């Protein structure tokens, strides 16, 4: 006699328990859950009653195995604590909270290798969609994305040649706009201060450089960067370095708002007048920028919206109507504030 393997799962009800209780076939329960319109109202009610009574919850693993498709969005970001990515992730979560999709979040730590490893891992789950930050994947990563067999959205940046879809904005233009603003308002010896020089930061720097060169103001000694992770204290340090290197500087375009805040604090401490002596521009426009004293000019970016849009596009692609426009540029906005009000 065959001894059935004792319920390994600890006796949680299965779909056949529900089916038995409702007096229908297991398949009908499955259908009632996934395509209710194909099951008569009567049975649907009966089945729902059985589900409620038993406290049945479908096993996503069994479901994924049987259907060769997991209801999972894989999301890859380079940092979890950087507010910018946290906002994107929040947008993704909020957009998916009412859907059956779960989220598998990976932290690449700005490492291409780590990204490849995670992509490999995520791919093994046959996710419904993949959302990855950035457009500078390694060739290996790119191949993994192309062969993922699901919609892929690259976020944060736009660029040519998307793997599939893209939502973001031009960091180069952002950097240029910020720098142009400083020039326009009258600053001349404008420094660039940046930490964690990832590809997006590099492009902001390129935008800065383009603007400076165009105005005939470029000087490589105005640039201070570090590979260290960005933070407010680091912003302060870098600003002091920049000032030591170039005591006559009269403006700063910061890689991001953390750095800008560090610069502002150091100006306070050193009794440097902002905006009279030095003008400051940040990047991303965290909400604290507008209440800082003086309030800090920054490039507003739409991180939360990027997350939402990425999900919307992926969902559309899953549903079969792949969007016509595959690269969405959400733009940015220069917020002029007191820190450059000269």
Partner DNA sequence: CGGGAAAATGGTAGCGCTACCATATCGTTG
Partner DNA sequence: CAACGATATGGTAGCGCTACCATTTTCCCG
Q: Which residues lie near its own copies (CB under 8 A)?
A: 8-10, 57-62, 64-65, 67-68, 70, 80-81, 83, 86-87, 89-90, 93, 97, 102-105, 107, 114, 120-121, 123-126, 149, 231-233, 236, 258, 261-262, 265-266, 268-269, 287-288, 290-293
d(Cα 39, Cα 46) in Å, to the nearest integer? 11
Residues 55/61/67/71 CA torsion (nearest 10 deg): 80
Q: What is the DSSP letter of 248?
A: T
The partner in contact with residue 103, picked from DNA, its own copies, none with C-beta cut-offs of 5 to 8 angstroms by kind, is its own copies
Residues that bind DNA (CB under 7 A): 2-5, 7-9, 12, 14-16, 23-28, 30-31, 33-34, 37-40, 42-43, 56, 58-59, 62-63, 65-68
Contact 26, 47 (CB under 8 A): no
Q: How far is the CB of 205 from its own copies (least distance, A)?
A: 24
What is the DSSP-derived secondary structure letter of residue 324? S
Give least dist CB 225 to its own copies, A: 19
> Which residues lie below 8 Å from residue 58, measured CB to CB, with a gap of 6+?
15, 33
Residue closer to its own copies by CB (options 250, 266) is: 266
Which ranges in the chain belong to alpha helices (H)? Answer: 15-22, 26-34, 41-54, 60-67, 83-96, 112-123, 139-146, 171-185, 199-214, 232-245, 257-269, 303-319
Min CB(318)–DNA separation in Å: 13
230 DSSP 8-state letter: P
The smaller minimum CB distance to its own copies, of residues 118 and 223, is found at: 118
Q: Which residues partner with 334 through β-bridges?
A: 299
Q: How near is the Cβ of 211 to DNA at its closest, in Å?
A: 53
Residues in the chain: 342
Which of DNA, its own copies, none sits in contact with 274, Cβ below 5 to 8 A by type? Answer: none
- Which of its own copies, DNA, none does residue 30 bind to, with CB < 5 to 8 Å depending on kind? DNA
Q: CB-wise, 36 or 186, nearer to DNA?
A: 36
Q: Which does 309 bind (CB under 5 to 8 A by kind): DNA, its own copies, none?
A: none
């Amino acid at each position: 006699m065959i001894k059935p393997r004792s319920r390994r799962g600890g006796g949680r009800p299965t779909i056949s328990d529900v089916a038995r209780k409702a007096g229908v076939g297991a398949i009908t329960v499955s259908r009632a859950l996934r395509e209710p319109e194909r099951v008569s109202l009567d049975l649907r009610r009966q089945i729902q009653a059985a589900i409620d009574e038993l406290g049945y919850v479908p096993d996503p693993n069994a479901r994924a195995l049987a259907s060769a498709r997991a209801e999972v969005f894989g999301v890859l970001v380079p940092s979890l604590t950087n507010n910018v990515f946290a906002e994107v992730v929040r947008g993704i979560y909020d957009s998916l909270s009412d859907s059956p999709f779960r989220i598998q979040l990976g932290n690449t730590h700005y490492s291409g290798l780590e990204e490849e490893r995670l992509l490999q891992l995520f791919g093994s789950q046959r996710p419904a969609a993949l959302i990855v930050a950035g457009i500078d994947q390694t060739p290996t990563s790119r191949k993994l994305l192309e062969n993922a067999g699901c919609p892929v959205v690259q976020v944060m940046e736009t660029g040519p040649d998307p793997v599939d879809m893209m939502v973001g904005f031009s960091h180069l233009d952002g950097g240029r706009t910020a720098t142009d603003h400083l020039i326009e308002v009258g600053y001349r010896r404008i420094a660039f201060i940046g930490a964690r020089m990832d590809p997006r930061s590099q492009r902001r720097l390129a935008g800065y450089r383009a603007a400076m060169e165009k105005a005939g103001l470029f000087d490589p000694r105005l640039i201070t960067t570090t590979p260290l992770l960005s933070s407010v204290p680091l912003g302060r340090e870098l600003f002091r370095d920049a000032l030591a290197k170039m005591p006559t500087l009269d403006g700063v375009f910061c890689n991001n708002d953390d750095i800008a805040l560090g610069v502002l604090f150091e100006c306070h401490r050193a009794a440097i007048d902002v905006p009279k002596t030095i003008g400051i521009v940040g990047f991303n426009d965290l909400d604290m920028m507008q209440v800082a004293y003086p309030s800090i000019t920054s490039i507003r970016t739409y991180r939360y919206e990027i997350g939402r849009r990425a999900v919307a596009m992926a969902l559309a692609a899953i549903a079969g109507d792949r969007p016509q426009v595959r690269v969405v540029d959400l733009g940015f906005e220069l917020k002029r504030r007191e820190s450059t009000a000269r």
